[in-house]
Amino acid sequence: MKTRLLIPLLASLLLLQGCKITYSFSGTSIQADVTSITINFIEYRAARVNPSLSNDLTEAIRNQFRRMTSLEQVETDGDMEISGQITGYDVSAAAVTADEVAARNKLTVTVKVQFTDKKHPEENFDKSFSAYSEYDSTNTLDAVESSLCEEIIEKLVEDIFNASVAQW
């Protein structure tokens, strides 16, 4: 009886040792030979200015990788590299009243991200990510901008992280 249970268990262990992808409880699937990442400063290139958004987004991405992976963050020449530009920072009407007045507005941030995996170039991508948050039009953007940006950054970081190391 014990032998019937032991053989499949040993076979499973041998198969798992042959895998080249490291899976973790955080949902990442990073190749075992990838040990470092360079996360470059996300440049600000949008027409409308938010002076702290580039720094806040860059730090949030770095923190996510620190928390969720065991990759060493290096200034240059990481096995993986993330760089990008904030290309859009736009306010638009999200809901209009019967009087054709905006009842809710929407702040949308768009980031173009370049991801490079030097050891596994088939994983590379260059794509845009967008996230938004709505606010009541009785508020000014200045009054709610900080909290909106926090929400948007959280969404963008999750999308960028998932696309780069979780392959979702």
Q: What is the pLDDT of residues 3-37, one digit of tens each?
A: 555 555 545 544 444 444 444 444 567 889 999 99
Give the count of domains, the chain: 1
Average pLDDT, the chain: 87
**Three-class secondary structure of residue 66 per DSSP:** helix
- Higher-pLDDT residue of 49 and 7 is 49
pLDDT digits (tens, 9 = 90+) for 57-73: 999 999 999 999 999 99
CA gap 160, 28 in Å, rounded:
12
pLDDT higher than 70, residue 139 = yes
Please give the share of the chain, as a percent, with pLDDT higher than 70.
82
- Whether residue 67 lies inside any domain: the answer is yes
Residue 10 placed within a domain: no
Rounded to two decimals, the pTM is 0.81
End-to-end Cα distance, the chain: 41
Residue at 1 is within a domain: no
Q: Is residue 24 a part of any domain in this protein?
A: no
Asked if residue 80 is part of any domain, the answer here is yes
Residue 95: the pLDDT is: 81
Q: Other C-beta atoms within 10 Å of 135: how many? A: 19
Torsion sign over Cα 69, 168, 162, 45? positive
> What does the pLDDT read at residue 36?
97
- Does 88 fall in a domain? yes
CATH of the domain at 51: 3.40.50.10610
Mean pLDDT of the 146-153 span: 98
Which residue range(s) make up the domain with 127? 33-166
How big is the chain, counted in residues? 168
Q: Which is it for strands 72-73 and 125-136: parallel, antiparallel or unpaired? A: unpaired
**Given this model, what pLDDT does residue 11 score?**
52
